[in-house]
Amino acid sequence: MSGDQERSHFGFPSHDELSSLVSWKPAGGATDGTGDPRGFGPRAVPPPVSLTDVLRGSIIDYGALARAFGLPCSAPSDVLAPGGMASSRELMADVGNAGNSLAPSSGCGGTATPMTPNSSTSWSSTEAAGEEDAERCKKDEPKQEEEVEKQRVKVEEEGGDASEKVNKCKKKGEKRQRDPRFAFVTESEVDHLDDGFRWRKYGQKAVKNSPYPRSYYRCTTQKCPVKKRVERSYQNPRIVITTYEGKHTHECPATVRGGSTHLFPPPPPAMSTIFCQNLMMQQTNQLNDGNSLQANINPNVYLANLPPSLQQLQLPDYGLLQDIIPSFIHGGQP
């Protein structure tokens, strides 16, 4: 249900942080190509913002983000970090190192070619070893690993053993590595962004403390364990939080299909960070039609545009984030 159209009949209390975070956009507007003229209701939220904005997201600590979004700390990721050309490049590299080939896969998903005309996004990553976001994450951790594991087992035995379901109970105490996760915060009317991959919705659940349900998608490609969750902020229905989990074990269908010529050359099976960088670059270019929004990608500049409240948040005490972000924050250059 790329449903969406709940665009602002909502009148939720505008949240400064949230607004700043999500609605921020460079002067000059970012309608480029997508030009969805629709204003989102009364509050003149930035019109369609492209993926560029996504790549330019801000660095904040997820907890704060969650709070800003009114999420009960539910988002699975720890941090939000800026993307954005050079920045993202650095960041992703770091991330990649930190998390053993991290989830650029998911990243790929994340670097989506938003069919969504309007979206401003931030992305975050969560790492296997990473510190989690309090309770919820603590809960999720084993479970999600389990699911992924379960799925892998299932897939590997494609024949379908009954035993596969038994596997979920194994190694209870054992600490397994969790698949890396990437969370994208997107301002969009559309829930389900087209990221070049094909997804099948396998569930939807009401989210506690939120009127908006969370949708669960799975990559339809065989043997691909990647999943993603999509949910909206209850405080700002325009905010879509997409969380990717796992690594794609295949190329991006969009590139294969040839239909979506927008995506870069076929990504390596494991979706290297390089690919993601390319993707981001590529998409940024397309989305902006080669002009406009490419300036101002310096995270420092970006951060400067954030309200103090958010600037303070840029150095959360999440280990992973610290691993990732320093290069941005402190000079941006090595």
Partner DNA sequence: CGCCTTTGACCGGCGC
Partner DNA sequence: GCGCCGGTCAAAGGCG
- Which residue number, 85 or 137, has a Cβ lying nearer to DNA? 137
Q: Decide: is 199 part of the binding site for DNA (CB under 7 A).
A: yes
**What residues from 122 to 161 belong to the interface with DNA (CB under 7 A)?**
135-136, 138-140, 142-144, 146-147, 150-151, 154
**Alpha carbon distance 171, 148 (integer Å):** 14
Q: Decide: is 220 part of the binding site for DNA (CB under 7 A).
A: yes
**Which region, judged by CB under 7 A, interacts with DNA, from 102-110, 121-129, 168-176, 258-266?**
168-176
- Which residue number, 15 or 214, has a Cβ lying nearer to DNA? 214
DSSP letter for 157, please. T
Neighbour tally for 162: CB within 10 Å: 6
In whole angstroms, the minimum distance from the beta carbon of 24 to DNA comes to 28
In whole angstroms, the minimum distance from the beta carbon of 208 to DNA comes to 4
Q: Decide: is 44 part of the binding site for DNA (CB under 7 A).
A: no
Which residues lie across from 215 on neighbouring strands? 204, 230
**What residues from 1 to 30 belong to the interface with DNA (CB under 7 A)?**
1, 3
Q: Decide: is 238 part of the binding site for DNA (CB under 7 A).
A: no
**Which region, judged by CB under 7 A, interacts with DNA, from 23-31, 46-54, 119-127, 166-174?**
166-174
Q: Decide: is 217 part of the binding site for DNA (CB under 7 A).
A: yes
Phi, psi of 184 (to 5 degrees): -110, 130
- Which residue number, 32 or 140, has a Cβ lying nearer to DNA? 140
| Whole-Å CA distances, 321 to 59, 88, 315 | 9, 14, 8
* Closest of 203, 97, 91 to residue 147, by C-alpha: 203
What is the SS3 assignment for 212?
coil
Q: Decide: is 260 part of the binding site for DNA (CB under 7 A).
A: no
User: Which of 204, 278, 305, 327 touches DNA (CB under 7 A)?
Assistant: 204
User: Which of 9, 13, 158, 172 touches DNA (CB under 7 A)?
Assistant: 172
Q: Decide: is 281 part of the binding site for DNA (CB under 7 A).
A: no
User: Which of 111, 119, 124, 215 touches DNA (CB under 7 A)?
Assistant: 215
Q: Decide: is 257 part of the binding site for DNA (CB under 7 A).
A: no
What is the SS3 assignment for 99?
coil
Which residues lie across from 61 on neighbouring strands? 79
> Which helix H or strand E contains 234, and what residues bound it?
none
Number of residues engaging DNA in binding (CB under 7 A): 40
User: Which of 208, 222, 308, 334 touches DNA (CB under 7 A)?
Assistant: 208
Q: Decide: is 168 part of the binding site for DNA (CB under 7 A).
A: yes
Radius of gyration of the chain (CA): 18
The 86-125 site mask, x for binding DNA (CB under 7 A), equals ----------------------------------------
In whole angstroms, the minimum distance from the beta carbon of 231 to DNA comes to 8
* Closest of 224, 212, 173, 239 to residue 40, by C-alpha: 239
Question: No. of H helices and E strands in the chain?
Answer: 12, 8
| Whole-Å CA distances, 244 to 127, 177, 185, 216 | 12, 16, 11, 10
Burial of 259: CB neighbours in 10 Å, binned 0-12, 13-18, 19+:
exposed
**Alpha carbon distance 225, 325 (integer Å):** 28
**Alpha carbon distance 191, 215 (integer Å):** 9
Which residues lie near DNA (CB under 7 A)? 1, 3, 72, 74, 76, 135-136, 138-140, 142-144, 146-147, 150-151, 154, 168-169, 172, 192, 198-208, 214-217, 220, 227, 229
